[in-house]
Amino acid sequence: MKNVKTAWFCSSCGAQAPKWQGRCPACGEWNTMVEEKIVSEKKSKTLTPVSHGSRRTRPQLIHEIELDEEPRIKMPSAELNRVLGGGLVAGSLVLLGGEPGIGKSTLVLQNILSIRSRRILYVSGEESARQLKMRADRIGRPNDNVYIVCETSLQNIRDHIEEVNPGLIIIDSIQTIASDDIESVAGSVSQVRECAAQLLKYAKETAVPVMLIGHITKEGSIAGPKVLEHIVDVVLQFEGDRQGIYRILRSIKNRFGSTAELGIYEMCQRGLREVSNPSEMFLSMSNDDLSGISIGVTMEGIRAFLIEVQALVSTAAYGTPQRSVTGFDSKRMNMLLAVLEKRVGFKLAAKDVFLNIAGGLKVNDPALDLAVICAILSSNVDITIPKRICMAGEVGLSGEVRPVTRIEQRIREAEKLGMETIIIPRHNLKGIDLSGLNIKIIEVAKVEEAFRTLFV
């Protein structure tokens, strides 16, 4: 008989303990220890390479290591390539997470159905083959190189890999896969860690990329132990409102590229459509002149786009004024309100302030400060900001407008989208050639100067 014993694992970091503890000794999280069964026997099957033997490594001096450009697989989606850093690296392990029904499987399926150069094995542990066939027909991209198998056993997946010998593997999802060598249910800490480690070993030894689709918890983090995010090379987050049509793909971790990039998609009847011009989802198409609306130029990675900032200032109906923020840092908005009160003289302490970033985007760019305070002041005095004016600038505690990065790219994006005037920080144009631009540039050093330009 198998020698069965139990151990306690932390669901946050994966640390093991011989008995239950209220607080994990490794990561310090409370009430995260769960009990799982362990079978102490030698594993009979592992996910070994199909045609490549394991090679013994040797220590190398750092100057002896040869630097070669990482071979990448170009995905059909340009947005996905941008977030990945230029494409899917051979031998990489990519984890894609997101809320249920957000479109993770649709994103992966419509990309692999357009790849003709290699065999692809799609392992589904959640949906049947008929369901995947219906989705593929709806997307409308038939492909004879995609093999579908519905399986949850890691050992059986190994047999399917040996039979198909694919050039790309999709696991949907990692929380449904279980190894027969571990006596615990699929999705547990030990199962997720073991299956991910076996798939990582296979990917590195065969140079075959593996994409994992993962669940998330109600807090929005990847389900399973935190070690799962440490094991994989790339962690992608697919975000958006299920009732809305736009989806945002972010890179949380990327060993082969920047984590500042994002991709934007629109959910349509035939799948996900790439949004090449992000400003179309962040700018209002209304022709009504309304107060409390300003347009800022923000950066996400190397992309510049215009975004609409909406503010509403009203008299507080109760004793304590409300401060409600969507898509912007609430602490930073409170700082900007303090600047308006102390440095500029606008009394907002007894008023409710509501701030919203249009389109559902969460912005961390400090260059949006100037647009935020202008939208708040516009709502407070009930004066409309002209639609063809945009702005970019960081606001300091003394009320100064500080220079921002990539100002030339911001100005060119504003001109391309039909803006007539842009307000920027003074001394932000040193050494920048803006010849040939047909947009009026106004430089300000203090927030008062920006207010006089807009409202006087």
Token pair of 240 as six digits: 């958006």
Return d(Cα 354, Cα 375) in angstroms, integer: 10
Q: Which residues pair with 229 in a beta bridge?
A: none
Residue 360 · residue 340 · CB < 8 Å:
no
| Residue 100 counted as an annotated binding residue | yes
Q: State yes or no: 103 annotated in a binding site.
A: yes
d(C-alpha 217, C-alpha 283), whole Å: 32
Q: Please give the Cα distance from 144 to 67 (Å, whole number).
A: 36
Taking residue 319's Cβ as centre, other Cβ atoms within 10 Å add up to 6
Q: What is the CB neighbour count within 10 angstroms for residue 417?
A: 17
Could you give the CA distance from residue 426 to residue 151 in angstroms, rounded to a whole number?
Answer: 61
Q: Which residues of 133-146 are buried (b: 16+ CB within 10 A; e: fewer)?
A: eebbeebebeeeeb
Does the annotation flag 99 for ligand binding? Answer: yes
Helix (H, G, I), strand (E, B) or coil at 79: helix
Is 22 annotated among the ligand-binding residues? no
Q: Is 415 annotated as a binding residue?
A: no
Nearest to 237 by CA among 225, 227, 223: 223
Q: Cα torsion for 19, 20, 22, 25, to the nearest 10°?
A: 40
Token look-up 């694992």 returns 9
What angle in degrees, to the nearest 10, is found between the helix axes of 104-112 and 129-139?
Answer: 70
Give the residues across from 5 on adjacent strands. Answer: 38
Residue type, 130: R
Tokens of 145: 């190189």
Q: How would you class 62 by CB atoms within 10 Å of its CB: exposed for 0-12, middle for 13-18, buried for 19 or more? A: exposed
Place of tokens 């996400």: 300
Question: Rounded to an integer, what distance in angstroms lies between the CA atom of residue 237 and that of residue 224?
Answer: 15
- Token look-up 């927030």 returns 447
Establish whether 102 is an annotated binding residue: yes
178 and 186 Cβ atoms separated by less than 8 Å: yes
Cα–chain center distance at 329: 17
Question: Which amino acids are annotated as binding site for ATP, given as ranges?
Answer: 98-105
Question: Which amino acids are annotated as binding site, given as ranges?
Answer: 98-105
